[in-house]
Structure 1
Amino acid sequence: MRPIKIRPIGSQHGFTLIELLVVVVIVAILFTYTTLAIRGTSPEELIQEEARRLTRLVQLASEEAILRGEEYGIEIFVDGYRFLRQSDGKWFAFEGDKILRERELPSDMEIELQTEETDIEISNLTSSAITTFMNEASALEAALADTTLGGDGDDEESGEVSKVQPQIYLLSNGEITPEFEIRFYILGVETSYLVKGEFDGKLTTETSGL
């Protein structure tokens, strides 16, 4: 009889929880795209899918914020949204992150944000226009600092979003503040979808009329 080969447990490589969460989100998004492509999409289905996508991404970002012990945020535009992270008191966009990257909505779809206190007015500028403006403002600020203070202008960290605060905060203790409702809609389409976030981190998606 030949002896059984036993491999030591320590030699096996496992996945981290963050890696598993990312894989789950990617599979869910790819499955949805495939399903919609096969059966065709109506405006209502597009609205529903964008609402569900945001819900999944917020869940992932919130869990990642807990695991990393960092504060995350969401900045909402009239035509999309992006996730931010806080470092040294400043907010930064996620550069090169395929999951938490900036998202633009399909044509004609818009977002309405309401918190537990009041409606939040979202800038009519598109996400790309705001990004261009902030990049130009940051470059000008760095140039002025270099001229007046004699600095080398290299203190700006890649991905920094200057003078921008997220409307929604995903805290490292699992809380979401403020509680919010984000409505996805297309003008002329009766059905809209709400994504609701509660203080304890609970997220729900539901249909709503205009």
Structure 2
Amino acid sequence: MFSRHGPPVGSNSFDHLHDQGRINPALHGQCLPPPAFVGSTAGPSFSGHSFDRAPHSKARGFSLLELLVALFVIVLVTSLATLNLGSGGADLELESRLRGLADTGSFAADEAQMTGRDYGLLLQRVDVGGEVVYRYGWRERRQEGWRAPASGREVFAERDLPSRVELDLQLEGRVDSEVPVLDDPATATPQVIYYASGEVTPGAIDVRLRADGRLLWRLEWDLLGRGELLPRGERGIDDDDA
């Protein structure tokens, strides 16, 4: 009896394939290996041949020189950005210190009138970590002489200006002597006096860049202690242009 699509029922399938020439007699009775799968590196096929994987193109990596160049560019850009940010931050710090000086001067003028005691602004040069910086502080006239104010210690605390700047002090229209290095700053006489009568020693402080002497700011005040901070010493210039 025959099936519709296969060998006669009950017959040997190997004999049937042998009769049709579809199997090698030498392989009769042996297990055939499975066909090779696509993508395998090598494997036998029905014909006894092996299939090699198709060659793939290798991805080219960066050379050491290219990596060094890229790293150099990154470091350079980062350094420039840090330099710009650092310069801007230093300018803001300087402006903040000078505005604080002007505001404290106004406060000292008010305190002098309220307490009936003279106050003064003392400028000096000091050595900080091997660098000469300009320091400003405040004094109060007492019976024993000029001393640090007894009240408002936080407001009248001494403060240093950045080491990159230097000061020129002008009093009553004349350029004063160079800001000194004081032997005994605790008892030194201040240069600018805020009198209890309401008058102030008129003058100005020029703040210059130490490297080239360029004028950055001018803080000036009149006989009544009214002060003004001028970018580059000129009126009508925005602070951003200083």
State the match for 1:206 in structure 2. 230
Q: Does 1:46 align with 2:93?
A: yes
Kindly indicate whether the alpha-carbon contact (under 8 Å) linking 1:65 and 1:72 is maintained by their aligned counterparts in 2.
yes
Q: Does 1:169 align with 2:224?
A: no
Shift in Å, 1:94: 3.1
Q: Normalising by structure 1, report the TM-score.
A: 0.58
* Aligned match for 2:184, one of 127, 134, 139: 134
Kindly indicate whether the alpha-carbon contact (under 8 Å) linking 2:94 and 2:162 is maintained by their aligned counterparts in 1.
no
Kindly indicate whether the alpha-carbon contact (under 8 Å) linking 2:165 and 2:208 is maintained by their aligned counterparts in 1.
yes
Q: Normalising by structure 2, report the TM-score.
A: 0.51
* Aligned match for 2:140, one of 50, 66, 85: 85
What value does the CA root-mean-square deviation take over the aligned residues?
2.6
Structure having greater relative contact order (Cα 8 Å, sep ≥ 6)? 1
Shift in Å, 1:95: 6.2
Shift in Å, 1:110: 2.0
Greater Rg, structure 1 or structure 2? 2
Q: Indicate how the Cα distance of structure 1 residues 166 and 124 shifts in structure 2: closer, same or farther if over 3 A, else same.
A: closer
State the match for 1:145 in structure 2. none
Q: Percent identity over the alignment?
A: 21
Q: Indicate how the Cα distance of structure 1 residues 77 and 124 shifts in structure 2: closer, same or farther if over 3 A, else same.
A: same
Kindly indicate whether the alpha-carbon contact (under 8 Å) linking 1:73 and 1:168 is maintained by their aligned counterparts in 2.
yes
CA distance in 2, matches of 1:199, 1:123: 21
CA distance in 2, matches of 1:91, 1:124: 17
Consecutive unaligned residues in structure 1, runs of 5 or more = 1-38, 136-159
State the match for 1:100 in structure 2. 156
**Between Structure 1 and Structure 2, which shows a larger proportion of helix residues?**
1
State the match for 1:73 in structure 2. 120
> Could you give the per-residue CA deviations for residues 169-196 of structure 1, whole angstroms, max 9, x where no partner exists?
001122111x101122322474511111
* Aligned match for 2:218, one of 177, 183, 194: 194
- Between Structure 1 and Structure 2, how many residues are aligned? 139
